[in-house]
Amino acid sequence: MGSDSAPVVRYEVSDRIARITLDRPGRGNGITRELIAALVDCVERADLDPRVHVLLLSGNGPGFCGGYDLVESAEGIGAAATQEPEGGAGSPLDPAVIAANHDPRETWDPAVDYAMMSRNVRGFMSLFHCGKPVVCMVHGFCVAGGTDMALCSDLLLVAAEAKIGYPPARVWGSPTTALWAHRIGAQRAKRLLFTGDSLSGSEALEWGLAIEAPPAAELVARTEILCERVARMPVNQLMLMKLLVNQTLYAQGLHATQVLGTVFDGITRHTTEGYAFQQRAAEAGFREAVRERDEPFGDFGRSSFKG
């Protein structure tokens, strides 16, 4: 579940609960292909384990997840061609192919882009497809691609002071799992995606995104209480109840919306503004590019200011 040095996702089982912990704290638990693969492995492991009744997803370090790792996104596109290919030379996951497909001097191939990003979506959706309930515990921050994992989970607890949202809606991103409207309704989803604004945990509770938003000091205890209650249920009942509710989302067209969201994500990275953001990140660093993107909105960093 990681490299030869240290796992990027930790896994343990106790008291009918499978605890899956993102473990790249030095990078804000930034998303990489390795992390997604490890997440999928852990979910499958828990799904098959008869001892497990519920999964608990959390993140180690100052926050849950800050999105895709900047080295493998805007700042690293130019250097990607020097990395070891994944999936074989010429595959959609080959860094050389990814780099060429983000070169503004070259012709963008949306099919190659979709083949790459749709694999990430399938990885995040392993949480949704898992036969057992997934509880996600968010502290500190959960932004950008990090929200894909949170929203694909079944129940979300967010610390009252935490920040959760999708700032890349401002430039260089579209939510690929496309669950915002399903989770908070069309109008509130538009309110966030039309501005790239984020919510505090307290606001996430008010908007119906979170099931609880306790103070940070009480988050772990409240999450454990919920997981313990769910774990008392028979696994077969849990599986049936999850399947029942999830069919509602499918009937609303979730899969079709995710296809659009994934295609649109590729488009946003290949607009004039998308290329300019990528170039700025390569020149000044990803954090500086994000600062310049977010400071006019007054919410750079941990703030969830909304005017």
pLDDT in tens, 261-305: 999 999 999 999 999 999 999 899 999 999 999 999 999 998 999
Distance CA 71, CA 213 (A): 32
Burial of 275 (0-12, 13-18, 19+ CB in 10 A): middle
Contacts of 262 (CB under 8 A, 6+ apart): 114, 117, 118, 121, 174, 176
- Give percent of the chain above pLDDT 70: 94
> Both tokens of residue 130?
């898992």
Look at residue 118 and tell me whether its pLDDT is greater than 80. Answer: yes
Instruction: List, as one string, the DSSP characters of 185-221.
Output: -HHHHHHHHTTT-EEEHHHHHHTTS-SB---HHHHHH
Q: Per-residue pLDDT averaged across 47-61, rounded?
A: 99
DSSP 14: E
Secondary structure of residue 104 in the 3-state scheme: coil
Distance CA 228, CA 221 (A): 11
Distance CA 14, CA 26 (A): 27
Confidence band (pLDDT; 50, 70, 90) for 71? low
Strand order in the sheet with 54-59: 9-14, 17-22, 54-59, 134-138, 155-158
DSSP 45: H
Secondary structure of residue 61 in the 3-state scheme: coil
Helix axes 110-124, 33-48, angle to 10 degrees: 40
User: The whole model's pTM is what?
Assistant: 0.95
Distance CA 132, CA 241 (A): 9
pLDDT (tens digit, 9 = 90+) per residue, 136-190?
999 999 999 999 999 999 999 999 999 999 999 999 999 999 999 999 999 999 9
Q: Per-residue pLDDT averaged across 56-69, rounded?
A: 98
Please tell me the CATH code under which domain 9-218+232-297 is placed: 3.90.226.10
Distance CA 42, CA 44 (A): 5
Closest alpha carbon to 102 in 227, 282, 286, 295: 282
The number of angstroms, rounded, from the C-alpha of 3 to the middle of its chain's C-alpha atoms is 21
Distance CA 49, CA 43 (A): 10
Residue-level pLDDT at 87: 82
Distance CA 142, CA 139 (A): 8
